[in-house]
Amino acid sequence: MNHFPPLHRLVALLLIGAAVALGLAVTVGVAAQGTTSLLNGPSLTIPDAIPAPAGATSVAVPVLLNNGASLLSSVGFSIDYDETCLTFSPADLNGDSLPDAVQINLPAAFTPSIGYNPADTDGELDISVIDYSLPLAILPTSTVMTVTFGINCAPPPASPELLVPVLFSTAPSASFGNTSGQNISGSTDSGSVKLISPATPTPTPHLFPLRL
């Protein structure tokens, strides 16, 4: 026995179908948003045109990490800098097994490692950040470190500034891992230091007495 007359049954089926479709749309929409977040993934950035005023002997270069809303737990990368204009000191005067020229900003769960090889001209600094204890912690979005470079050059004559690249190496490329110990996709965005020329002095006018 039918509980709905034919027309009512059709309307009921349409309403049920619309509700199911709406539910699917909401589910797919949420899933799509999650996929977009994962596709964006974690990223490392060195800012562009970090200013170094005229006469400066060093410049601080921050390394910015965006975890991309992922369960990021480890990262490894190399920095390639222009050795004709920038210098790096591996000195470790405080004995913490890290160069004093690198200031670390990490949660206590993470252990940084920094290797320096001046002969590796396409990636002089090799850096890794790892949590060695389970459960693995999540790396937050932050300025993970700041590298101080010495300045060994100046803008050419008659030039107001000189851009010196500070790059993420592609040999090897940066790697990212999640809390399950799996590799995840990420990206890097290299930057530069802007060396600024001294201001050109403005000639001071001299007034001479008028002779009559």
pLDDT > 90 in the chain, percent = 71
pLDDT at 198 over 70: yes
| The two three-digit tokens of residue 26, written as one number | 């909401």
Cβ neighbors of 29 (< 8 A, separation 6 or more) are none
Q: What is the 3-state secondary structure (H, E, C) of the chain?
A: CCCCCHHHHHHHHHHHHHHHHHHHHHHHHHHHHHHHHHHHCCEEECCCCEEECCCCCEEEEEEEEECCCCCEEEEEEEEEECCCCEECCCCCCCCCCCCCCEEECCCCCCEEEEEECCCCCCCCEEEEEECCCCCCCCCCCEEEEEEEEEECCCCCCCCCEEEEEEEECCCCCCEEEECCCCEECCEEECEEEEEECCCCCCCCCCCCCCCC
pLDDT > 70 in the chain, percent = 75
- Is the model more confident about 53 or about 29? 53
Residue 7 pLDDT level (bands cut at 50, 70, 90)? very low
So what's the pLDDT on residue 40?
75
pLDDT at 159 over 70: yes
Residue-wise pLDDT for 20-47, tens only, equals: 333 333 333 333 333 333 357 999 999 9
| CA–CA gap between residue 184 and residue 136 (Å, rounded) | 15
Residue 205 pLDDT level (bands cut at 50, 70, 90)? low
Residue 164 pLDDT level (bands cut at 50, 70, 90)? very high
So what's the pLDDT on residue 200?
59
pLDDT at 9 over 60: no
Minimum mean pLDDT range among 56-60, 165-169, 185-189, 200-204: 200-204
